[in-house]
């Protein structure tokens, strides 16, 4: 199986990390579209265009069988379009894990951190409306402009990042939020800081494991054997912090990096 995975930068590697635990005998190509990051502060049309160009690149260059949109923002803007344009491709997107969060919360107070574009998108509103009928839960939604840039700069533990999170999380801490949805694939990279700021036992929800399992099951339906090594090739459209990559994909040795222009 040949798998194409993309995100605006390092965030989607949190999904790739989960895939390394589950997927075997496959070739994985990852594009970090750092030239156009952050997606979360771009228009719907721009994000759609980046997503279509990257998908076409994967198909033309690597003849992929499966596409993983390892980005909540791009999923919100482009997944419907992609499914319509590429009906024979396995396509899996990333959505904020509101459903597992609603199931896990004890206090009935759930925080949602995401990019401005994801929270504004129809897809998110639809998800929340559907789930609101299932259980009486209060959602604390917070857009986090600037957080992706801090993470891309390697400033996960820097003072600006901590101050941003302190401001955004204080209302959640004061209102007994016990479960936080990480609605952007970059945010697991600041999971430890979030836990420290919240000063309590906390469920942090991200969906990398669920995506990896779904890919395995859809791949096997199409004859994938899941045997042997997973080979990963990383591309970025502009600069990227290679040290952070090694840190996220710890233990995974077969990583090659090439700079491309899309
Ligand atoms: N990692 C992406 C997401 O899951 C997008 C971050 C961005 O570029 O704003 O939403």
Give yes or no for a contact between 39 and 8, defined as CB atoms under 8 angstroms apart.
Answer: yes
pLDDT tens for each residue of 102-117: 999 999 999 999 999 9
Element (H, E) at 71: none
Across 185-224, b (16+ Cβ under 10 Å) vs e yields bbbbbbbebbeebbeeebbbbbbbebbbeebbebbeeeeb
> Of the listed 10, 31, 37, 71, which one is catalytic?
71
Q: Whose CA is nearest to atom 2 of ligand 1?
A: 71
- Whole-number Å distance between alpha carbons of 197 and 163: 10
Give yes or no for a contact between 181 and 99, defined as CB atoms under 8 angstroms apart.
Answer: no
Q: Which residues line ligand 1 at a C-beta cut-off of 6 Å?
A: 7-8, 11, 37-40, 71-73, 115, 118, 148, 184-186
Tokens encoding 28: 């994985």
Phi, psi torsion values for 185, nearest 5 degrees: -70, -15
Give yes or no for a contact between 113 and 88, defined as CB atoms under 8 angstroms apart.
Answer: no
Phi, psi torsion values for 29, nearest 5 degrees: -115, 130
Instruction: Provide the residue ranges of all domains of the chain, joining segments of one domain with +.
Output: 2-94+208-259, 98-205
Sign of the dihedral through C-alpha 172, 178, 183, 185: positive
User: Which of 85-89, 95-99, 210-214, 254-258 bottoms out in mean pLDDT, i.e. has the lowest?
Assistant: 254-258
Architecture of domain 98-205: 3-Layer(aba) Sandwich (3.40)
> Has 144 been annotated as catalytic?
no
2-94+208-259 has which fold? Rossmann fold (3.40.50)
pLDDT tens for each residue of 18-66: 999 999 999 999 999 999 999 998 999 999 999 999 999 999 999 999 9
Probe ligand 1: pick from 69, 94, 148, max atoms within 8 Å of CB?
A: 148
pLDDT tens for each residue of 198-255: 999 999 999 999 999 999 999 999 999 999 999 999 999 988 888 899 889 986 655 6
> Has 71 been annotated as catalytic?
yes
- Whole-number Å distance between alpha carbons of 45 and 165: 29
pLDDT tens for each residue of 129-179: 988 777 889 999 999 999 999 999 999 999 999 999 999 999 999 999 999
2-94+208-259 against 98-205: fold identical: yes
> What Cα–Cα distance (Å) separates residue 250 from each residue in 16, 73, 94, 134, 151?
11, 26, 22, 39, 17
**Ligand 1 centre and the CA of 40: distance in Å?**
6
- Whole-number Å distance between alpha carbons of 61 and 107: 49
pLDDT reported for residue 251 = 64
**Closest ligand 1 atom to the C-alpha of 37?**
8
Tokens encoding 134: 């299932």
CA end-to-end distance (rounded Å), the chain: 23
Q: How many residues in the chain?
A: 262
């Amino acid at each position: 199986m040949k798998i194409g995975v993309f995100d605006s930068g390092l965030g989607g590697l949190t999904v790739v990390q989960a895939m390394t635990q589950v997927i075997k005998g496959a070739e994985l190509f990852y594009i970090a579209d750092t030239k156009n990051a952050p997606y979360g502060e771009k228009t719907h049309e721009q994000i759609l265009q980046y997503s279509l160009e990257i998908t076409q690149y994967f198909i033309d260059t690597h003849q992929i069988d499966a596409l993983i949109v390892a980005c909540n923002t791009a999923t919100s803007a482009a997944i419907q379009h992609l499914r319509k344009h590429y009906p024979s491709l396995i396509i899996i997107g990333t959505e904020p894990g509101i459903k597992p969060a609603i199931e896990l919360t004890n206090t009935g107070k759930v925080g949602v951190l995401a990019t401005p574009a994801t929270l504004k998108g129809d897809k998110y509103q639809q998800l929340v409306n559907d789930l609101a009928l299932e259980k009486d839960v209060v959602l604390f939604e917070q857009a986090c402009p600037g957080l992706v840039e801090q993470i891309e700069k390697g400033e996960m533990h820097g003072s600006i990042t901590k101050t941003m999170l302190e401001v955004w999380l204080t209302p959640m801490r004061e209102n007994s939020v016990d479960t936080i949805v990480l609605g952007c694939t970059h945010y697991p990279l600041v999971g430890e800081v979030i836990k420290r700021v919240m000063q309590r036992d906390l469920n942090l929800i991200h969906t990398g494991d669920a995506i990896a399992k779904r890919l395995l099951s859809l791949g096997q339906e199409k004859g994938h054997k899941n045997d042997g090594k997973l080979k990963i090739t990383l591309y970025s459209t502009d600069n990227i912090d290679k040290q952070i990559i090694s840190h996220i994909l710890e233990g995974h040795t077969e990583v090659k990096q090439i700079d491309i222009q899309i």
